Structure 1
Amino acid sequence: MSLALDATAQDLLFREAHTASTFTDEPVTDEQVQAIYDLVKNAPTAFNQSPLRITLVRSEEARRRLVKHAMGANGPKTLTAPLTVVLSVDLDFHEKLPRLFPHAPDIKDAFFSELATREAAGTQNATLQAGYFILGIRAAGLAAGPMTGFDFTGIDKEFFGDGKQKSFLVINLGKPGTDAFSPRSPRLEFDEAATTV
């Protein structure tokens, strides 16, 4: 069965895309990151809540502060990437809901007055946004190296000392370098992953 995307786009976004471990030194500009965000900002979220926050780690000083919370090989990879971003959940995302979900201006108080509720909803929806963000990186012709091997509690203290953001993913991005990709590991087949009821 054919898909609406042509084969080239399918390969760019899905079939040929891999997690990158090395990158060239070609810079990733703020304009590129903004174009990526503008492409993917309409990712589906409940009530348009948009809890994802993106912290661009550019300076050497900030990169050193980040790398001290890395596990294993994630530190060296992060030191050499042209750009690293920390993705986090804004725990006060509900304050923007009256503007983002105008049909129900009282929704922030009706559903999100409790911090635990905001954290659960924010994490779920920011994770959806993160998946789209990675697709946006690929659509920009760049490679992404998403990593969870970090001490996120340490990152939160280091970068978000006010406790209003919780990090959950670090992504290196740029043009892939030498030996950037490991061989692709297997995935489940459709009949292993899907059930009809």
Structure 2
Amino acid sequence: MTVIDNTAVETLFTEARTHNVWKDQEVSEEKLRELYHLMHFGPTSMNCQPLRVLFLKSQDAKERLKPALLPGNQEKTMKAPVVAVLGYDTEFYQHLPRMFSHNKDAKSLFEGKTDFINSTAFRNSSIQGGYFILAARALGLNAGPMSGFNNAAVDEAFFPDGQVKSNFLCNLGYGDASALFPRQDRFEFDEVCQVL
């Protein structure tokens, strides 16, 4: 593998910021397709890929989401060009014969095991959510991920059959850098890491 250059590191990590204020600039469906295409190469356990994404672009779709948001998240979400609802498919294992084809028994490992299904789907959709944010940044978009919402209300509004469950939301667009808060502190290595 090639080590990426410092410009790429800055784009993805050190200079990237979470945005709350958005420029009035559309995000095309083509850009959203590029984002998904980049993201979908990231690894998941058994290549299970449980993430399911709804991209809310219309004001009507965002208004359906609004009652589920905590008050502090409503304005920035309504003004975001796109709101991604990232969920996880609790029947992801049905696709393992295709996605993990070299292991013919993969599907049977999950059948009837609700806790294992849910923990695997939630964990791996969260991992994919991280790739999602990095893919957005790589394509010149800004991301505003958040968990300040009522999952049950989002599921009722957007995933009523119960198969898909919401994980987190991510506002997408072109952020207004002049409205950024100062960068908050991060833990240093020795505060949170050990080498054993």
Task: Name the TM-score class by shorter chain.
Answer: over 0.9
Going from structure 1 to structure 2, the CA distance change for 1:195 and 1:111 (only over 3 Å counts) comes to: same
Cα separation, 2, equivalents of 1:68 and 1:12: 33
- 2:27 matched to 1:41? no
Structure 1 residue 117 displacement after superposition: 1.4
Unaligned runs of 5+ residues in structure 2 are none
Q: What displacement does 1:17 show?
A: 0.5
Structure 1: distance between partners of 2:74 and 2:174: 18
Aligned length: 195
Mapping for residues 70-149 of structure 1, pairs under 5 Å: 70-149=69-148
Say whether residues 1:11 and 2:14 are aligned partners. Answer: no
70-79 or 45-54: bigger deviation: 70-79
Q: Which residue of 2 aligns with 1:24?
A: 23
Please state whether the residue corresponding to 1:73 is helix, strand or coil. helix
The CA deviation string for residues 32-89 of structure 1, in whole angstroms up to 9 with x for no partner, is 1111111121212110000000101122211101011100221111111111110001
Q: Distance in 2 between matches of 1:178 and 1:190?
A: 28
Runs of 5+ unmatched residues, structure 1: none
Matched residues in 2 for 1:37 and 1:175: separation?
17
User: Partner of 1:118: helix, strand, or coil?
Assistant: helix
Q: Residue 150 of structure 1 aligns with which residue? A: 149
Q: Which residue of 2 aligns with 1:51?
A: 50
User: Partner residue of 1:63?
Assistant: 62
C-alpha distance after superposition, 1:108-133 (max 9, x if no partner):
12234322211110000000000010
| Residue type at the aligned position of 1:149 | G
3-state DSSP of counterpart to 1:68: helix
Q: Is the 8 A contact 2:93 2:110 kept in 1?
A: no
- Going from structure 1 to structure 2, the CA distance change for 1:183 and 1:112 (only over 3 Å counts) comes to farther
In the alignment, which residue of structure 1 is the partner of 2:185? 186
Give the TM-score, by structure 1 length: 0.95
In structure 2, C-alpha distance between the alignment counterparts of 1:39 and 1:28, rounded to whole Å? 16
Deviation beyond 6 Å, 4+ runs, structure 1: none
Quote the Cα distance in structure 1 between the aligned partners of 2:127 and 2:116.
17
Cα distance between partner residues in 1 of 2:58 and 2:36 = 21
Give, as a single letter, the amino acid of the residue that structure 2 aligns with 1:5: I
Report whether the alignment pairs 1:172 with 2:171. Answer: yes
The CA RMSD over aligned residues, in Å, is 1.3
State the TM-score, normalizing by the size of structure 2. 0.95
